[in-house]
Amino acid sequence: MEKLSYVYIFLQSSTIEVFVYFLFYRKLKAFGATFVLTTLANTLTHPVVFFVIMASRLSYIEAILLAEGFAFVAETFLHAYFGKLPLKTTWKASLTANLVSWQLAPILTYLLFIN
């Protein structure tokens, strides 16, 4: 994967997720704190997802399912630990953020670069 492609994917995913997480955390954290927390979690999970799981010999569907599962679980615990947030809240937020990012990112890429 080209370096700029990875940077784009990281920025796109983080940007989408920050707004989703903020919907869950808005009564608990300021937007800036949510931004920092989301960026930190993505900085830790994205390299594993892209350079380890997606580069493995798994089939595409197996790699995607493992990558999304890993991101969901890791970000749940990272947000709970570093953000000092309730696990139930981070669980719901992480599941939603990762599902929205997984579905919206390809649509945005298509609209921005292919269409």
Is the pLDDT at 101 greater than 60? The verdict is yes
Q: In terms of pLDDT, which residue wins out, 102 or 72?
A: 72
Burial class (CB in 10 A: 0-12, 13-18, 19+), 66: middle
Each residue of 33-91: pLDDT tens digit? 999 999 999 999 999 999 999 999 999 999 999 999 999 999 999 999 999 999 999 99
Residue 94 · residue 75 · CB < 8 Å:
yes
pLDDT of residue 105: 85
Check: pTM over 0.95? Answer yes or no.
no
pLDDT of residue 59: 96
Residue 21 to residues 36, 53, 55, Cα–Cα distance (Å): 11, 24, 28
pLDDT of residue 115: 67
Is the pLDDT at 1 greater than 60? The verdict is no
Is the pLDDT at 18 greater than 70? The verdict is yes
Nearest to 108 by CA among 14, 3, 38, 1: 14
pLDDT of residue 106: 83
Nearest to 108 by CA among 34, 8, 24, 20: 8
What is the rounded CA–CA span in Å between residue 108 and residue 114?
A: 10
Confidence of residue 15 (pLDDT cuts 50, 70, 90): very high
Confidence of residue 112 (pLDDT cuts 50, 70, 90): confident
